[in-house]
Structure 1
Amino acid sequence: MFTPSKRMRFLGVGLASTTSGGFLVSKAKASALQISKLSAPMFERVPDELVAPDWSLLEQQNALENLPRDALEKRCRELALQLHRSTKLDGAREAISAGQNAQLIVQNMTMNKLQKALHEKEKGKKSDRTLMFPGGKGRHLTADEVIVQKLALEEAKKKEEVDKAAKKTRREARKAEKAEIEEKWKGMLAAHAAAVEAWKERCARLREAGTRAKDLPKKPKRPLKPKPKPAEDVSDSDGDESGGDEE
């Protein structure tokens, strides 16, 4: 069954395999040349070759039990013909609707790319340069205020580098901790699976020996996944890491 999520995945795979639309599903920045290669929207209509059904057959109020056999057979043939026409017309409209929806998705993806590029252009690249006196006017480099401000800027720079190194150390430690937890979790799952198999074999032997079902040993409980220690700074943790309890 083609659910909306499956259709989106198929559309993404199809776009990724093309040279003109592959950039829409990638994380790279979009250029004006790439966007210009996208095809313009197409407006389709039902082909004239498809004849519309004759819906007037539904309005006939003749009692079917009073019609002769020939008339009934003729009416059945007419209804079958109109149903066939309706099916073809409905299929064409569904295909047109699917194409229009795909165009809307491509247009939305293009708009998101343009919005991201515009946002980056408006925001600009952050500069690491420091403006000591944004108000302008001349200053003596040997003045006390210049020396004090320069020392303060140097201290702030050193503190920023120390904080950055500390954050990096915490991120690496947290990453190593999560890797260790994953290995431990795999071992716990393997031990649980072995315990379940042993429990099944034991229950089978007990049932063969005549033990009642309510007297059988309980199934081993599935262990809970260990969680990492709470981070001191939530912003230090990597955004792509998650601690879900998935097998």
Structure 2
Amino acid sequence: MKACWQRAIVEFESKVMRDVSKAEFLTVWAPAYLEAFDESTTRAAFKVMGIIPFNPNFVTAEQMKPSEATSTRGEFPMPQPSPVRAITNSMRLHPPTRFDLSPSNIASSSNLASSSPPQTPSRRRSWDEMENIDPVLWSPSKKIRTLYAHLGSTSTGSLLLSSPKIKSYDTSIIAPVIQHVPRSIKAPDWTLLASDGAEEGYKSRNQLENEIAALQKQLALARQNVVVRDNIIGEANTTMIFQNVGLKKMKEALHQQEEKAATDRARLFKGRAQVLSSDEFTNQVKDMNTAKKLKDAGKEAKRVARERKKELREELEKEWAQMKERHVAAVEIWSQECSELLAAKTKKKDLPPKPKLGKKPQIPVKEDDEDDLEDEVIDDGDV
């Protein structure tokens, strides 16, 4: 059909030397359609669909199964978004230490500040150092910085850490991924837990060895299921962390939008509780004061310009009034002169022309007059 349609267009354009118009579309398309869909092409199309010749086995039993919602549900592991992978990698690179997991350190966590300074570990294996590292060295703030570093390396996650305004087309909402244990990983045989060895009586060594082997096999399956479920839970928790960061960012943007019209002063932060003692804040205060001075100076210059324009307008109005008075006097003199000439038998075509008033004087129009008018309206609104 595409080849016939393209050939018909080329023939039409070469014949009339112009493109196909809307009124001529059907005239060109109908012959191409009749040429393309003949008996052979129609039979070939129906043959693919199992109609001509009739083929009841055209759709297989596998294709007749109901479709699965693979976009929101799938077997582990599903490909996670880049921010989720970044947070997951951060959690895997820096897992909780033994100090974090040990109950004995919970009571003594408040005394960490007054404890003696820790010594740098040496001559230890890397895994042992990571598991036994002192929480004072691996502080929560360092964990957060590491997490932010991983999150900032992604394009979507970097938007949550930056200060620019959030826009709807820049902020994508991650679809939830619901995962379950793959069917390829078999579940353990939990019926072994219900068996009572005391009722079975004496067992031979061979029976005990077989039972131990079966238990080890089922324990390996249980461990495999636990590992997969832990990974699924970890990715789900990571998704919740990322969504929580996104909701916090959106709430700040909404709060900033609500408080935008509360004052005409520039807002250096997004409201809510902030620490305002950094060099960045002081520099922003200086920039804000400088911009305010420049704005006030510009307003004063525009006010002087408006006053000059007002004085010029008053002078032009006075000049216009004088022009009209002179024109009225000139018309009276002209009327009297015309009456005398008509009395002297002078033809009307030979009468002198009537005096013209002339155009009203106007203020020279500048390109920035409209901007001045807008600024005047804004200044009046500020007052």
Structure 2-normalised TM-score?
Answer: 0.32
Structure 1-normalised TM-score?
Answer: 0.48
Q: Which structure has the greater CA radius of gyration?
A: 2
